A and B are shown apart, each in its own frame.
Chain A
Amino acid sequence: MASTTETKQKKMLILKSADNDEFEIEESVGVQSETIKNLVEDGFTFVPLPNVYTKALIKIIDYLKKHANKTDSNDEEIKTFDKDFVNTTFDDLFELVSAANYLHISCLMNMLCQTIADRIKDKSPEAVRKIFHINCDYTPEEEAKIRKANAQAFEGQFDESLD
């Protein structure tokens, strides 16, 4: 399967997402990911990615393509692209960050982590819980204690919105 389109100039790779969708990309684009690079070095052209879902993979391939031909001239363009790229919901961000982690794309990882961090800044613990989809597993006493210990963090105003 996956008839490896091995032309001399442009080696193509086939990525397969967890939803069994296949994507064909150039090798030069793919090797930005350490995981793919390692597989390619071992002689693979067909890369199954059982941890990456199609939705995230499409976005990530977009990102890789954009960053593959990075030059000084399109610096601004890439910046705006990055801005749009991270301008999405928290759930998508988590999806992307976990995919980027799996694929070992460090520049994307850093960008996503920074974005998430920036966006949970100035949020109240309640908002953070909702964003992260976690339940409060403190007993009320414990929570009061920890809040007291971090009293200085609670001085300011919180941003309660969830985006």
Chain B
Amino acid sequence: MSVMLTKFESKSNRVKGLAFHPTQPLLAAALHNGSVQLWNYRMGVLVDRFEEHEGPVRGVAIHPSRALLVTGGDDYKIKVWDIRPQNRRCLFTLNGHLDYVRTVQFHHEMPWIISASDDQTIRIWNSTSRQCIAVLTGHSHYVMSVQFHPKEDLIVSASMDQTVRVWDISGLRKTSPNSGGPGSSNPNGPGNFEAFDTFSTVKHVLEGHDRGVNFAMFHPTLPLIISAGDDRVIKIWRMSEMKAWEVDSCRGHFNNVSSALFHPKHELIVSCGEDKTVRVWDLAKRTAIQTFRREQDRFWVLAAHPNLNLFAAGHDSGLIVFKLERERPAFSVFQDTLYYVRDKYVRAYDFNTGADIGLLSVRKFGSPYVPPRTLSFNPAERAVILTINSDNGIYELTNLPQQAQGEVKDSSVDGKKGSGQSAIFVARNRFAVLNKTSQLIEVRDLSNSVVKTIKPPVQTNEIFYGGTACLILSSPTAVVLYDIQQQKTIAEINSPPVKYVVWSHDSALVALMSKHTITIANKNFSQHSLVHETIRIKSGAWDDAGVFIYSTLNHVKYCLAQGDHGVICTLDNPVYLTRVKGKTVYCLDRSARPRTITFDPTEYRFKLALLKNNYEEMLYIIKTSTLLGQSIIAYLQQKGFPEIALHFVQDTNTRFELAIECGNLDVAMETAKSINRPECWERLAQQALKQGNHKVVEKAYQQTKNFDKLSFLYLATGSKDKLSKMQKIADARGDPMSRFHNALYAGDVQGRISVLRDVGLHPLAYLTAKTNGLEDLAAEILEAAGLTEADVDDVPLFGPSTLKPPPVITPTTDLLWPSLSAGENFFDRALVNGQLEGGIEPAYVNGDAAAAGHSALDAWAQEEKQEDIDPEEGGWELDADGGEFQPAVDAEEAVAEEEEELGAGATPGPSETELWVRNSPLAGDHVAAGSFETAMELLNRQFGIVNFAALKPLFLSTYRSSHTYLSPYASLPPLKLHIRRNPGETAPSRVLPVAVRSLESIRTELAEGYRFVSMNKLAEAQSTFRSVLQALLLAVVSSDDQAKEWRDTVTAARECLLGVSIELERRRVIEEEPENITRNLELAAYFTQCQLQPPHMQIALRSAISVFAKANNQAHAARFAKRLLELKPDPKIVAQARQRIAAGDRNPRNAVEISYDEFSPFEICAATYTPIYKGTPSVHCPYTDATYLPQFKGNLDPLVQLAEIGASASGLPASW
């Protein structure tokens, strides 16, 4: 235990009692000043205070399942509190103790509270009836502590009388089936102590401490008791049904031991005392493991969290919450597998199948109490490097077994160790080790020898993989990308100490995690963004789409490359994310067990789509998700995408706002209609005016009855008829001012005059009429005013007014100001097309896509996979002479004799092609090796081939495809490299050239030939079959099955070639000798005798039927038709065949006599296309086995034109 990790610390009055909340991060602390504090230790905040006790509070406990707190103090009182924030209050007080209450505790299932007091009694209370149900007497001094057994009906108490007592309280449970207890039926109340004693008996009295005992507790599972006393000793006791005895003592504290606890999960004891120390002991060995010392403060109380690896200790000036070990499991992810360490075993967890297997024990690596800190995985070598903090930091490099074995391998068997605080793989066969004290980074190879030493440019605390040939160095103030080769800094980013580094799947982005910040950088650190968190950051993983998902103490969050981040879900307990795939987060919990969390990635997917302008995806999300709240809208608005936000919003007010903001007048109009409030219309009008859409403005003004503006708008647009309408409206409204306006705007003099007349402004009306030359009207007005011309002769004369509205040049009434389209608005288009309804899910890359192939890890691993492929290795091994030509390549053996050869005198060794020739009896391999001479010999010997000219292109292309050239070094002639069939093989006696033409590829070509036949391209088919037969000569065959397949292919190709040749000959006969019907019929009949593919056989038979029917050879035609029926052709063809048979039955005669006896088996001579009946002599082609008449012996076979007919041949060599 090299560290005790303090997670939280508070300053306060002396802490005498402590209790953890079982599920929430809460800790209750009872203080000497009478206060009880409730802390959230994760957030570090004081949640609540309970201050009703008078004097010190010593005992405190939280109910295991309900929101209840019990406290006991020096005021003799026990108080029960409701701790729910909305409801917090003291529920009730239990009175009865006659002295200080030392400890209190809830029973795990009964509604009981137990308390220990200086009045020498232990009392059990029913919290339902709020009465004392038992008083346990027997101790002869203060009872310092009392605890229920976690499962059985036992309690253990510790007292100043130097004893620990175990009590049996099963009687109590029996007599209180309704949890009422005897007290409830006792009318006398809790005064009568003696009455309770029958329900509880002292089972064991444990004597051994020399001073008073401060604390005692049961082991959670074993029959053990631990006690801590003023004699500075911790004692361990074992008990059976009958008795209890002392097992051992832990000595080391040099003052009173206040408390000692069993670790809830590990075989450890944690104790604290007035000697200002907290100590950790090994339960099995009873030896001290670790001591944590404080300068000033005496420790008074310890508490262990019931489920988590957390402890709290109270001292003179506050409390601390601490962990005994790091819980972050060491892990590494490769493809679909998580490699991690649990309980000092390296395990592999398959994300897809959930299979979780132990691969390697690391129990002997470092201190047994410390888990490994980091794990680096090398897929190519299937090796891991672990580091551990014990022993000043060591690392170990071990290979993982290929499969889980019955007995898990221990790393100490072949592990390579060394000292260093940080060790990681940097390449397939290199790893880097950081030594913090000497500040040196060593690059080592897999045999653990140093190949390079680097002095980092900054104070380095930790190193991480930095991409090819690079390291990431974490210093206290910055993080440095460092080139190993060049030994120089590539880039540096200021950052708090980086603790973890996670690369994205495509190695394009890296997340650098510190305690409270995440820096997302690209691979050469040239761009980066920073995310701040107030809560401690624990871990993170990349989504395949480049979103970083990370966990803090209490949240899972996401972070986009440009720095946007948000919450995905909340966590009860911290987890360590290992991988994100689709909607699933894979993680390890604090006990290093794999877990998954499903979440809704909509929000970040949407934001990411927005960033990448991936509108299809956005549209899809908009369509399918229901979970987009105000935050998304605010986000979109803030990021300048109101038009997109528009599509999310149902609320009309927001829609209106957004529509105005993005200038979408249609939507604005629509929403304004449904809102129908003047301010909306006004804003709409304003926006529309800006955009020059006067129709919308008009509508808006109409809606708000803004007549003045409306009129002016009509003036501006030159809409005279509208203006006159406005006059009428104004008239109807009885608004003469408005009428006047409109008349003025419309240039309607008469209208103006009539307004003036109507309102009685006769002088103005008169003058208006007069100046506009409307004399009649003027006179009329005068008359109406009861005046004559004479009355107004003092009025000066004005010339006719030239003032009038300008004429309308372009009527814009129906024209809108053209607005520039704001780019292609995908959403509008989509909405118009109705696509929104039927959006197709776009291929979101996360999780579904295969991981990007460029990461170095993948490449390493691929090599690994390839190594397994070993096709028929050793197939050609000639054991007898296997070793003869070894020395040249096998350096190991030849070291001694070659020592002097280094240098100028080196003689050339055997080339790879020579090895190939030696290793194979197949002509194809010899051709690939360029040894044409031997290849020809082989072909001649094996297949009687004599005419090689046709094979030349094949030879050359085969040879060509077996070698390649590369110049690794400048200006030198390129190296000739030889392509092997079995890349895994390096032994010189086994290397073989690549199979240029595999049997499969030749069969593909054969199939092509079949197709030509079906398509009636017989000439092409003929040459294809020939080429197949040529290629087969150089095919590589390496097993009996393959040899059989080879032979079958040869036969099939030969038959097809023969058939096609016959048919071609028949067509030639029709063409050139049309009168030779006999030959025509014979050839048609022979064609059906070739062993063809079933579809080709149908063709052959159908052609024969028609030819024979035409020649009136009905009997033969019927026979062919019968054969055709056996092949089960199409119904249509069946009908035709039946007709043929019927015709044959009616007229079973043959008009033309031909040489064709289908009832006695025969072969067809491939030269003359005549039958060779069984029993008559024949010769064969040594390669294809085609049959020839004996007179052709010694000639070149006409079919393939390669072999000498009748030559002797050994056939395919079978040496596998």
User: Do A and B form a real pair?
Assistant: no
